[in-house]
Amino acid sequence: MIKLLDKSIADKIAAGEVVESPVSIVKELIENSIDAGSKSIVIEIKKGGKTYIRVTDDGSGIPKDEVLLAFFRHATSKISEAKDLDAIGTLGFRGEALSSISAVTRLEIITKTENSKTGLKVYMEAGEVVDKSLLGCPNGTTIVIKDLFYNTPARLKFLKNDGTETGKITDLVSKLAVAFPDISFRFISNGNIIFATDGRGNRGNTIAEVFGHGDFDNLTYATEIQSKGKVELYVSKPTISRSSKRNQIFFVNGRTVDSKVIEKAIEIAYKERLFEGRFPIAFIFIETDPSLLDVNVHPNKKLVRFDDEEFIINLVASCINKAITSYDAISQASEVIKEKDLTISHEPVRYDSVSTENKESYPQVEKPISYFENTKPVEREVQTEEQIDIKKLLSTRPREDKSTSLEEENSIIETAVSKPFNVDDLKVTGEIFNSYITAVDKNNFYLIDQHAAHERIFYEKFTNAYLSDEIISQPLVLPILFNVTPELYAIKDQWVRKLASMGFSLEDFGPLTIRANEIPDFMSISEAEDFVNSFIENIESKTDFNNDVIINKLITRSCKSAVKAHDKLSMEEMVYLIKDLANCRIPFSCPHGRPIFVRFSPYDLEKMFKRV
């Protein structure tokens, strides 16, 4: 016999789709608050949202006679006719969140519209009204949810531990707060305020308010508009990096998305600017015609597919490039000296209990092990009041001035793209320790790592020649001889051919000996010797000479070996070196990501001498 399910069973079934875990409830409630035009939203959870979720807003409220209706399935004020479906500007529209949520929880709603003198409070259990009363309350809506899945215990056991659920909610609320900087968000977990944003519309400030001051105060801003879209971004200078991509957050047309394409653009832009295995912080906001997108490939995975991926990669990479080749993005003495927390740096742990999956894994290569133990106290130690203040003062992004209006503030931020750094402006003043060139421009003093600079120049000359097929070689009067192992000798045809494509002409010169008759024109004999030795030392029998990534690694390593440290340079040689550097594609760091320049502002120097 076919019969209609009664409401409570139908709702419980539907609830499965909307209510998977506490984070999905929080998402629906916040989206409703945003749709209601709220200026301020408070989110409070306990035990990862399993026992308690509260969302309070100051939005439109729900008229008394519509409150119960809102809890029916497919009850929505956001669409009335099928044709509206195409023109949806709000976040939710299926009209099933409240009915689904109420079906599996104990729920209290308090709501009041502006036109009404009193508010209405309704208490429900499993979707059934238990109590209803009038009360005095501010305009807006509060929804309190207790005891998730109390009537469907089987679902309870699919929830992760409190720390993990808290982490998921923190992640969601953080991203929404950054996506809507005009709305003030306050997020409380187990009685602790995790973050609060001021809702004044300044995105840079909002990011720091949410993710913590320090690194997030010092992101570089840039924006770019091209035919098919616009990007605005806040990215870290290459001095600041992370061991995972967790701080790379993307928004497309206001919604947070995951995108391999945007990740790729970041990777391209930071190539050779960071050590291997390090990732920048990046908040990227793309606006583009919705018809060029395929969002919501899956409603929860929030993947986005771009019609023109190449356009997006170019747009984002070129904008990041603008940001990190600016004057502000040159490593500043005050930051580099703090390098201690460069390696360990991550936003303060603010989850009540952190699950292991939220922890960053620290690379074991850059610092002794002891740094990685007990990261929290170390971070506390280095972030003294004084240092935070210095950072604020040195921060080149205009700070918020309480007296400026919102428009003014936005316009400051719009124009805050700092001017490009120009190596040509540097005037060499001398050298210290046979290792560091000293130089000045109009506003700053610089130390330049001569070895890193030389490595960069050598590497770019090399790769330019290699890639352009216009290799100029110089014949050697006295050939260089290389002794090789039997294994290498056996596969010599492959690597001799590869080195020939780089401008070395090599030939077999008897057992286990190879002779070089010509080398690339810009190399000295000893550089060529060291280059080839390093190149062949790193070849293994399984080396694939057609794999560009592997070949590039061999080249980078060999360039490093070819360039010698601690050569004393004459003034002319230094000036020449800086000229060469100015012609480089990436004059900021050596091919391995080590910085070439460190910048001292007059303020840095005054600070060192306790003048300020």
- Site residues, Mg ion (CB under 5 A): 32, 92, 97
List phi, psi (to 5°) of 606.
Answer: -60, -40
Question: Quick one: tokens of 314?
Answer: 């170019």
Interface with ligand ADP (CB under 6 A), residue total 22
165 contact, one of Mg ion, ligand ADP, none, CB 5-8 Å limit per kind = none
Residue 289 three-state SS: coil
CA separation for the pair 457, 455 (Å, rounded): 6
587 contact, one of Mg ion, ligand ADP, none, CB 5-8 Å limit per kind = none
User: Shortest approach of Mg ion to residue 252 CB, angstroms?
Assistant: 21
Query: Which C-beta is closer to ligand ADP: that of 98 or that of 103?
Result: 98
User: What torsion do the CA atoms of 497, 498, 500, 505 make, to the nearest 10 degrees?
Assistant: -70
Under the binding rule (CB under 6 A), the answer on residue 479 touching ligand ADP is no
Query: Which C-beta is closer to ligand ADP: that of 125 or that of 400?
Result: 125
User: Shortest approach of ligand ADP to residue 89 CB, angstroms?
Assistant: 13
Report CA 136 to chain centroid distance, whole Å.
45
CB atoms within 10 A of CB 487: 10
Query: Which C-beta is closer to ligand ADP: that of 57 or that of 530?
Result: 57
Beta-bridge mates of residue 595: 589
Please select the residue that binds ligand ADP; options are 7, 64, 94, 367, rule is CB under 6 A: 94
33 contact, one of Mg ion, ligand ADP, none, CB 5-8 Å limit per kind = ligand ADP
Given 3-state DSSP classes, what are the helix, strand and coil percentages for the chain, each rounded to the nearest 5?
A: 40, 25, 35
CB 14 within 8 A of CB 100: yes
Under the binding rule (CB under 6 A), the answer on residue 60 touching ligand ADP is yes
Q: Name residues contacting ligand ADP, limited to 530-549 (CB under 6 A).
A: none
Q: Near ligand ADP by CB under 6 A, which window of 52-60, 273-281, 324-332, 555-563?
A: 52-60
User: Shortest approach of ligand ADP to residue 44 CB, angstroms?
Assistant: 15
Count, residues in the chain: 612
328 contact, one of Mg ion, ligand ADP, none, CB 5-8 Å limit per kind = none
Beta-bridge mates of residue 45: 53, 189
Under the binding rule (CB under 6 A), the answer on residue 62 touching ligand ADP is yes
Query: Which C-beta is closer to Mg ion: that of 92 or that of 167?
Result: 92
Mask for 289-318, x = binds ligand ADP (CB under 6 A) = ------------------------------
Residue indicated by tokens 């801003």: 221
Query: Which C-beta is closer to ligand ADP: that of 61 or that of 238?
Result: 61
User: Shortest approach of ligand ADP to residue 210 CB, angstroms?
Assistant: 22
User: Shortest approach of Mg ion to residue 297 CB, angstroms?
Assistant: 21
Report CA 135 to chain centroid distance, whole Å.
46
Rg (CA), the chain: 30
433: left (phi over 0), alpha (psi -120 to 50) or beta: left
Q: Near ligand ADP by CB under 6 A, which window of 93-101, 227-235, 283-291, 416-424?
A: 93-101
Under the binding rule (CB under 6 A), the answer on residue 248 touching ligand ADP is no
CA separation for the pair 244, 88 (Å, rounded): 36
Query: Which C-beta is closer to ligand ADP: that of 28 or that of 431?
Result: 28
59 contact, one of Mg ion, ligand ADP, none, CB 5-8 Å limit per kind = ligand ADP
302: left (phi over 0), alpha (psi -120 to 50) or beta: left
**In sequence order, what DSSP letters do the residues of 548-589 get, joined into one string?**
HHHHHHHHHHHHHHHSPS-----HHHHHHHHHHHHTSS-TTB
Q: Name residues contacting ligand ADP, limited to 203-242 (CB under 6 A).
A: none
CA separation for the pair 199, 556 (Å, rounded): 47
CB 460 within 8 A of CB 272: no
Q: Exposed, middle or buried by CB within 10 Å (0-12, 13-18, 19+), for 572? A: exposed
Q: Name residues contacting ligand ADP, limited to 9-48 (CB under 6 A).
A: 28, 32-33, 36
Under the binding rule (CB under 6 A), the answer on residue 92 touching ligand ADP is yes
Q: Near ligand ADP by CB under 6 A, which window of 74-82, 235-243, 373-381, 495-503?
A: 74-82
Using CB under 6 A, list all residues that contact ligand ADP.
28, 32-33, 36, 57, 59-62, 70, 75-78, 92-98, 141
